Structure 1
Amino acid sequence: MYVGTLSFDLLLGDVHSLKEKRSVVRPIVAELQRKFAVSVAEVDHQHLHRRAVIGLAAVSGDATHLVDVLDRCERLVAGRPEVELLSVGRRFHGEYDD
């Protein structure tokens, strides 16, 4: 079994309220869930209206498949014009990790 996680630190564009922030973050979370069947949530900076951290986790029996899914998720978020991707954290846990 292989587990991969990503964390996306995002700077949101023309957002002036938490309500506007939700209208940007929720569609990204929903698209990741729908397209890639991964677990996704906003995990930090909930009180700031121009910043967000989205966390993502995926599990697979095939390491190559898992890396491919994580790569595609990262490309999707990086390609969104309404956000600036400040950083991406990636962790990969293989079957022989302690």
Structure 2
Amino acid sequence: MYVGTLSFDILLGDVRSLKEKRSVVRPIVADLQRTFSVSAAEVEHLDLYRRAGIGLAVVSGDATHVADVLDRCERMVAGRPEVELLSVRRRFHGDDD
């Protein structure tokens, strides 16, 4: 079994309230879940309205599949015009860990 995780640190554009932040972050999380069948949630900077931390995880029996899904998720978030991706942290856990 292989587990891969990504943590995104995101700067939001012209957002002036937590309500506006939710209207940007929720569709990103929902798209990740729907498109790639991953577990995803907003996990950091919950009280800041121009920053967001999104975490996701994927589990598979194939290490190549995990790496491919993580790559596609990262490209999707980086390609969103309404956010600026500040950093991405990737972790990979295999049977040897």
TM-score (norm 1): 0.98
For 2:2 and 2:15, how far apart are their aligned partners in 1?
37
CA-to-partner distance for each residue in 1:42-96, whole Å, 9 max, x for gaps? 0010100000000000000000011000000000000000000000000000111
What residue in structure 1 maps to residue 69 of structure 2? 69
**1:2 CA displacement:** 0.1
**RMSD, aligned α-carbons:** 0.3
Structure 2: 5+ residue stretches without partners: none
Q: Secondary structure at the match of 1:47?
A: coil
CA-to-partner distance for each residue in 1:13-42, whole Å, 9 max, x for gaps? 010000000000000000000000000000
Alignment of 1:25-36 (within 5 A): 25-36=25-36
Alignment of 1:6-85 (within 5 A): 6-85=6-85
Moved over 2 A (4+): none
For 2:81 and 2:68, how far apart are their aligned partners in 1?
22
What residue in structure 1 maps to residue 88 of structure 2? 88
Q: How many residues are aligned here? A: 97
Q: Which amino acid aligns with 2:77?
A: V
For 2:84 and 2:5, how far apart are their aligned partners in 1?
20
Q: Secondary structure at the match of 2:49?
A: coil
TM-score (norm 2): 0.99
% identical aligned pairs: 81
